[in-house]
Structure 1
Amino acid sequence: MTHPPLPDLILEPLIRAALMEDLGTYGDITTRTVIPAGTTYAACLRAREAGVVSGLQIAAIAFRLVDPALTVTAHAADGDRIEPGVTLMEITGSAASILSAERVALNFAGRLSGIATLTAAFVAETKGTDTRITCTRKTTPGLRLVEKQAVLHGGGFNHRSSLSDAILIKDNHIAAAGGIRPVLRAVKAQASHMIRTEIEVDRIDQLEEVLEEGGADVVLLDNMDTPTLREAVALTNGRLILEASGNMTLERIAEVSATGVDYISSGALTHSARTLDLGLDF
């Protein structure tokens, strides 16, 4: 599935903040010292290992924010599968400008490509089923928007992006409110008809209580073993959307998706992805 790029206007403040952090108080003093004024060059952003690329749009914005006169030519698109040695982008113009933007561009592209690549690996394990892979809110503070976009580039789906997107009743909400029935009755009494409700359970008897009470659209099956997940799918019989979560490692995805759950959510997609090795060559 191809996902349209986010508007540059939304991304620019995030990238600008990263550039300001990297350039510090006085800018790139190394480049100013050793690169003769007026030096121009061509640089290529290349893959050094295979994966799924994400963050190319952000890298291009980083170069242009440092120097609008730079020419940035894309040779790949976010969401593409890439092989080692492939040129992803070419940047021509002021050598000083290219060097000053290099680290921020690579930090974003490498980090986000790592997330997209790990997501793609999770998605591959669901082959032959209808189960979708989704991320969580376990993202790097300040980077949630782009990390969730990287999950989309890897073929996954997004869970809620903020606390205001949907009602998600976790175990602590249930404990504080006095039980499953009280929280679901509160939802039925107060929530807008435009908002979906998900509730977390970790035992079959809790799922039975949710099915009896009503008021939920989605049930999060937390830290259940595979036989219990199968039992939950059979018990629900399509009446609610089921999401399996908790200890969803890459090694478990195939067997969990085979149970028939609708979604598998994993925080590892964003908090444990390894940076993909990309490099900028002059």
Structure 2
Amino acid sequence: MNISVVVPLLNEAESLPELTSWISRVMDANGFTYEIILVDDGSNDGSWEVIESLKQNLPNIVGIKFRRNYGKSAALNVGFEASKGTVVITMDADLQDSPDEIPELYRKITEDKFDLVSGWKQKRHDPLSKTIPTKVFNFFTRKMSGIHNLHDFNCGLKAYRKDVVKNIEVYGEMHRYIPVIAKWAGFTKIGEQVVEHRARKYGTTKFGLSRFVNGFLDLLSIFFVGKFAKRPMHFFGTMGALSFLAGLFIAVWLIAEKLIDISHNLKYRNATDQPLFYIALVAIIVGFQLFLTGFVAELVSRNSPERNSYHIEKTV
């Protein structure tokens, strides 16, 4: 099979018939063998009934329904697991991503040998309240990840080699940073394609302002896990050593100062009367605790076997 198109969706009943028909036309026109994996993330607007109806006329459709809403990352992860194509395309269900981009994305993966190609919606149809925070996040993501050639990490329209989606794990709200996750997994040939951004035709956006706060926290999480997951002692040990040595230095300084005063028969004050004494004490304790945290982190696996366990109600 050439292509698997993974479409996570939440309350997009109105757009699904048009979207699946459009994808099918593009695939047939280019002679691709394909499947369309529709992952219903707990919709309550009849989206699943629409998927079941579409399945009767389009056998290429694979439907997966969550019992409740888990989020876009969960839907993508399950879609990746179910995919069978040599190239996997992801797109949103709201018709803001154009299926006409699929042939060029496919070519970049198969001919140009990219591991991942991310869409760049160079001209957006979004309000400033959305575009400005997005630009800020993309700037910081480029700086922290080292992937300097991507302008839009969060674009839902992406293409992947099969090996990529089978070797990465997307959870929480990490879908925004899949290129970063792929890079940490060793897939470094990452490209970009300018794509059309269409105005939303049906419904309303499912994302609020909280996604920007969550996105920043997720970025910090990815950066830490990607850099120190296999060697947490390098992080905690370094921080612990610096804190411990700083406290020890202050403590030695206070002791030396007191000994000098005694040797010169000078009036001295107790070490415990000085604020530096308590700073040194806290620094030593914190340094010791960070060391212990590092040792424990070395022993505990970061992967929980239940982290990507989802209750799937139905499949078709």
Query: Could you state the TM-score of these two structures normalised by the residue count of structure 1?
Result: 0.24
Query: Could you state the TM-score of these two structures normalised by the residue count of structure 2?
Result: 0.22
Tell which structure's C-alpha radius of gyration is larger.
Answer: 2
